[in-house]
Amino acid sequence: MSSVLQQDPMKPSDEPRPADAFGEADRAAVYRAIETRRDVRDEFLPRPVPDEVLRRLLSAAHHAPSVGLMQPWNFILVRSPQTKALVHDAFARCNAEAAGMFEGERGALYRRLKLEGILKAPLNICVTCDRARGGPVVLGRTHQRDTDLYSAVCAVQNLWLAARAEGIGIGWVSIFDPDDLRPILGVPQEAVIVAYLCVGYVDRLFDRPELEARRWGQRLDLASLVFDDHWGQPSAVLGGASSDV
C-alpha cells in the first residue's frame, strides 16, 4: 500500500510551507509580467513554441484556482493550417457583422484595427469549460453556477502571464459565434468555448494596450473604480474622500 493511503486522510500530506513575501527581484518580476502583458495581434514570429515551453505554459494554466477544485478546463492545441483557415473564416464572418455596429468615424477605425492573429501565430489554443465535470453538485458552485466559467478564465490569465515571462505573446479572439467553432474543433455540447488564443513568440510589444495606442479607448482611472465599504463611496486608499471625514 502506498504511503499516501496509509496517512490519516484528515491530515494534509504536506506540512504548510512558509508564506514569506518574495524577495525584491522576484516580486518585481511578477509585477513586470502583469504590467507588460499585452494582447498581441500582429507581432507574432513564425518560430514554433517548443513542446517543453508549451508544457510549462499549460502547467501554469492548470495551476489556476477553480471552484471546488473542479478544474473544468481543456486545451485544444490548434496547429493545422486547414483548421486555422476554417477558424479564420468564422472570425471574418462575425467581424464583418461587428464592424457594421459602429457608425461613421468609429466604424472606419474599427475596420482599420487588426483584431486577431489566427493565421500568423504558429499555435492557437482553444480553452474550454466542461460544465458537467465534478458531477451535479460542486463545492462552491451551488449558488453561483458560472463559477466554473470564472475558473476557466483564471486558467487563461495564468497562461497569459506565464507566456509573457517566456517572451511569448497571446491574443484572445472572441469575435466568433461559438456554434461556428464547435464543429470545427469537435467541442462536445457539455463544454463551453471560453477562449480562443493566438500564441507565439514576439519580438516587440506595445507599451500600453494597442486599443489605447490606436485611440479606441483608454485605461480608466483606478480611483474611480474602488469604493470603501459601500458602492459609490470613493476609497481613501486611492486618494478619494476618506469615509472617516
Instruction: List residues binding ligand FMN (CB under 6 A).
Output: 38-39, 41, 115-116, 172-175, 209-211
197 neighbors 203 (Cβ within 8 angstroms): no
Judged by CB, which is closer to ligand FMN: 102, or 172? Answer: 172
- 3-state DSSP call for residue 218? coil
Judged by CB, which is closer to ligand FMN: 61, or 173? Answer: 173
Closest residue to ligand FMN in the complex (CB): 209
Q: How many CB atoms lie within 10 A of CB 93?
A: 14
Residue 236 Cβ vs ligand FMN, minimum distance, rounded to whole Å: 28
Q: How many CB atoms lie within 10 A of CB 188?
A: 10
- 3-state DSSP call for residue 214? coil
Residue 10 Cβ vs ligand FMN, minimum distance, rounded to whole Å: 40
Angle subtended at Cα 206 by Cα 61 and Cα 239, rounded to the nearest 5 degrees: 85
Residues in the chain: 245
Side-chain-side CA neighbours of 177 within 13 Å: the count stands at 11
Residue 126 Cβ vs ligand FMN, minimum distance, rounded to whole Å: 13
Residue 217 Cβ vs ligand FMN, minimum distance, rounded to whole Å: 7
Judged by CB, which is closer to ligand FMN: 138, or 184? Answer: 184
Judged by CB, which is closer to ligand FMN: 93, or 228? Answer: 93
